[in-house]
Chain A
Amino acid sequence: KAGVTQTPRYLIKTRGQQVTLSCSPISGHRSVSWYQQTPGQGLQFLFEYFSETQRNKGNFPGRFSGRQFSNSRSEMNVSTLELGDSALYLCASSKRVQGNTEAFFGQGTRLTVV
């Protein structure tokens, strides 16, 4: 069974550009959530999607957006990149079974903004 796949693994962008990151969840998992990890702020929740609907959103500016497709694959987009957006972006997929939910993470996308 394939795990969570994130692409690309590494990315270097210039301030002001935009970027799109992709996450393919484990087969059968319909919930996908995104997290930003920086040395200073730790792991912070960005948003969560289930069946193409955003159910939860973290405290990030509108430059951060996402979507989920009918096959549960998800993308997140960051527009007008700032230096502070440099971070590791992690995606998790999960599935609720009898009230229990276990999350699995992809390898992450390391974004550097210069």
Chain B
Amino acid sequence: GIQVEQSPPDLILQEGANSTLRCNFSDSVNNLQWFHQNPWGQLINLFYIPSGTKQNGRLSATTVATERYSLLYISSSQTTDSGVYFCAVIRDDKIIFGKGTRLHILP
């Protein structure tokens, strides 16, 4: 089945820094999403981005489908950005997640 790999697994940054999270997938996809898991466990939709680039405030994402990777950029990090970021694809009507990147933003 399709494999989704995220890197780095952990990232510690000072408030105000920028960060780049990467997601590699092993097969072509037409559905790719980025989620942020908040401290209470809910997965918050950040981007639906099977290809191209999108921006939402300090966050942006780029998916290069032909090269099978996606990047999530966080600029001017805030402590509220802390948490786990998941990349996920949908294959055969089930969501396949990467293992996530745990981001710690220090004040």
Contacts and interface: CB of A to CB of B under 8 A. Distances in A.
- Name the residue among A35, A101, A104 with the largest chain B CB count within 10 angstroms: A101
Contacts of B88: 103
Contacts of A102: 31, 33, 45, 48
Contacts of A48: 93-94
A25 interface: no
Interface residues of B, number: 22
Given A35-B95, A42-B97, A100 B41 contact: no
Interface residues of A, number: 27
Contact of A105 (B35, B90, B93): B35
Interface in B30-63: 30-31, 33, 35, 40-43, 45, 48, 50
Interface of B: 30-31, 33, 35, 40-43, 45, 48, 50, 86, 88, 90, 92-97, 99-100
Interface of A: 31, 33, 35, 37, 42-43, 45, 48, 50, 55-56, 58, 88, 90, 92, 94, 99-108, 110
